[in-house]
Each structure stands twice: as structure tokens, then as C-alpha cells.
Chain A
Amino acid sequence: MENQVPEIFSIIPHTHYVLLSTILFVVGLIGVMIRKNVIIMFMCIEIMLNAVNLMLTSTSAYYSHSGGQIMVFFTMAVAAAEVSVGLAIIVMIYKNLKTTNIDAFQKLKG
């Protein structure tokens, strides 16, 4: 057994994948905090989900254990369901309020 880790990790340290995922996650987090458009906030949540997916995949490849990649598959399934329901809610709120600004959504407060 000449090399113990998958080929790519002999060139690129696993830490760099962790750093890349962290940067992507933080970009998504900043986007959720600064944007007012609900649809763009939703897209930033997708960026954060993808950062976590990348982290899981790289760790799963590093340890050669398929659990991480199965987890990514289920994350994608849940994200698809979440997006469909969330966008339906946004469309319904837009029909009532005629805007997608998050500040207008505080009318939903009970």
C-alpha cells in the first residue's frame, strides 16, 4: 500500500478543502444578513448548504468512507423539498403584499 490517502490529498492538504468550505459558508452567511430580497436570501441559504456538502464530500473522500457522500445525497433531497415549499410560500406572500422585501414580511407577526 504505497499511499494511504486518495491521490488528490497527497497534493492538496485536506485543510484547504475545510478552508474553502468555510469561506463559502461565510459568504452565504453574509449574504443572508445583508440582502433584503427574500429570494436572494434563499439563494444564500443554498450556498451555505453547498459549502457543507463540499465539506462532507471532501472528508468522506479523505477517510474513504461513503457515509459522508450518502449524507450529501440526503441533504440534496431535503434541499429540493425545502426550496419547493419555500418558494410556494414566497409566491403566496407576494400575491398578498406585492413585494419580496423582508421588511414587509413583519406583517406576518401574529
Chain B
Amino acid sequence: MIDIIFYVLSALTIISATMVIVSKHPIRSILFLVLTFFLISAHYVLLNAQFLALVNIVVYAGAIMVLFLFVVMFLNLNEEVEKVRHYFPWFAAVISGGSLMLIITSALDKSVLLSPYPVKDYSIGLVENLGSVLYREYLLPMELSAVLFFIAMAGVMLLSRKEKVD
């Protein structure tokens, strides 16, 4: 049962990620990207990483994609459909991407994955356990990410301010 769910979910994820890069309209790309994020969240639930599934929906599908949608509607890109299509970039991209995948899969065949640690509990992905690790062992990176957000906010305000014409 769970293997059928996994393979159907994986196929849907790959198809919707492919639809993101082949659809002509930016709005459709964004909606397919939202679908991809929801499917990846389903993968996280399957892996028993519930905290990440929740954060993925809230941060990616909620905040980031709304930002993208807002910018696309703000810029009114719907009329601007890419007209001229050359085939050479497609060939080059598919060949180079395919060779990267070939390298990774062949390295995976040759590599010896370490045997997993003896597990005491399978609930590391729950909010309680992950939160206690986050605030105990990774407190400094957590605080630094707050500084990063502050700098990003200040940078965006600096970028979008009106230039004074002399």
C-alpha cells in the first residue's frame, strides 16, 4: 500500500515539476509550483517529518508563492509569452542535465551507503523533538537567521525606495 502511494506521489511530483518549466504562462507555472510543494509536503509526511511538512506548506506554498504570484500580477506578464523558440538550448540543457543525472546515479551504484544507526525512536521529525534540538543545540544559527531576515528586510526597503531625481 505505502509503496503504491510513494510511487504515484513521485510520478506526480516529477510531472508537475516538469509542467512548471514547460508551461508558457507564468501564472500556470506558479500554480504548478504550488502543487509541487504540496506533493513534496506529502513526501515529508510519508517520512514522518511532520514539522517540515507543516513548515513547507506555510513558508513555501504560503509565503514564497504568494510573493511570486503578487509580483507576476503586479508586473502584468500575461501578455508577454515567449515567442521565439530555439531548439539548441533544449538539446544542450537536456544533454547536460541528463549527464549530471547519469553521473549521480552511477556514483550511487558504486557507493556504499553506511548502515543506519540503531534507532531508539522514530519520531525525530515531530515538532516536540525537533524544537528541543533547535533551541538547545542550534540556538546560535537560529538567532543568526533572525539577523538575516532583518538584513533582508532592510535590503528590500532600500531597493524599492524611490530614487531622487536631481
Which A residues lie at the B interface, using CB under 8 A? 1, 4-9, 11-12, 14-16, 18-20, 22-24, 26-31, 33-37, 39-40, 42-44, 46-47, 50, 53-54, 57-58, 60-66, 69-70, 72-74, 76-85, 87-92, 94, 99-100
Main secondary structure of the interface of A (DSSP, over half): helix
A52 to B136 alpha-carbon distance, docked (Å): 25
For B80, list chain A residues within 8 Å (CB): 99-100
A8 to B49 alpha-carbon distance, docked (Å): 12
Task: Check B97–A29 contact: CB distance below 8 A.
Answer: yes
Task: Check A79–B64 contact: CB distance below 8 A.
Answer: yes
Given contact pairs A20-B14, A76-B55, A39 touches B100 in the complex (Cβ within 8 A): no
Q: List 11 A-B contacts (CB under 8 A).
A: A4-B116, A11-B6, A15-B113, A22-B101, A33-B89, A40-B26, A44-B20, A60-B124, A61-B124, A73-B130, A92-B159
Query: How far, in Å, is A101 (CB) from chain B's closest CB?
Result: 8
A24 to B14 alpha-carbon distance, docked (Å): 6
Interface string of B48-82 (1 = CB under 8 A from A): 11011001100110011001100110110100101
Q: Which single member of B3, B117, B124, B159 contacts A69 (CB below 8 Å)?
A: B124
Q: Which residues, 101 to 125 on B, are CB-close (under 8 Å) to A?
A: 101, 104-105, 108, 113-122, 124-125
Task: Check B77–A39 contact: CB distance below 8 A.
Answer: yes
B90 to A, closest residue via Cβ = A34
Interface size on B, residues (CB 8 A): 81
Task: Check B101–A87 contact: CB distance below 8 A.
Answer: no
A60 to B125 alpha-carbon distance, docked (Å): 9
A99 to B, closest residue via Cβ = B80
Q: Which single member of A30, A57, A87 contacts B47 (CB below 8 Å)?
A: A57
